Structure 1
């Protein structure tokens, strides 16, 4: 069973412990609703806890496997770091296509899983459409993060 298969199975069964076994300690999740990534296994797992409660009728509907750049130029501190990240070797990657509903809004999206040499997930990039769904998702996730004490109320 591949890492993508195990990830999908863990999400389908809402099994945070199994998800945690797939992540590196320094995993980063790039969200469609937040510029800075969620960083570290504890924070990414907490976010998944919120997501699994937030999505209604979540289901994966497709999968693609290949490679993707390992770096994240958009979060590099300097132009040199951005260039180095863009030139870095490509790592194995899988794209899981999903559909779901959040607060009555239909969502189409992808989870791009970036894997390390040991086939553990070191990065996840989530993309969602349409814009109204991104807004609904952002509001629902923020409410969940606040309710769980993961971000301050403001």
Structure 2
């Protein structure tokens, strides 16, 4: 994501959640999609419900991902992986699929009622496809170190049985 575009987004969000700009975080790039991840208290998400543990704000071919700091840092490796990959899935749905959700409709309900809307069904399907290929290695999503891994192509992600 061009730095000017990210700064514009950050400026808009800072009105609602000023700590987002200075929060601990990292960057990621997947193909043409780029994003910034910030660890903040969910009460500081601003544009998303504080009931969530992750929030993605798409912008063009990129996004800002906000993760609840305590949930992410204290979660199990699998919880961290599913959370981050799910939010990155939202970013890819916007930037690569232009909200086509990979053709996933209400089928996401196989994961639970929360995932029935296509937008959530796709993001969860991407997270599960990511785990199937990369395990709990978050390095391809910009966090920590680990081996390279061939990330799932969002255009080929489908709902999988839990």
Higher relative contact order (CA 8 A, sep 6+): 1
- Whether TM exceeds 0.5 here: the answer is no
Considering fraction of residues, name the structure with more helix: 2
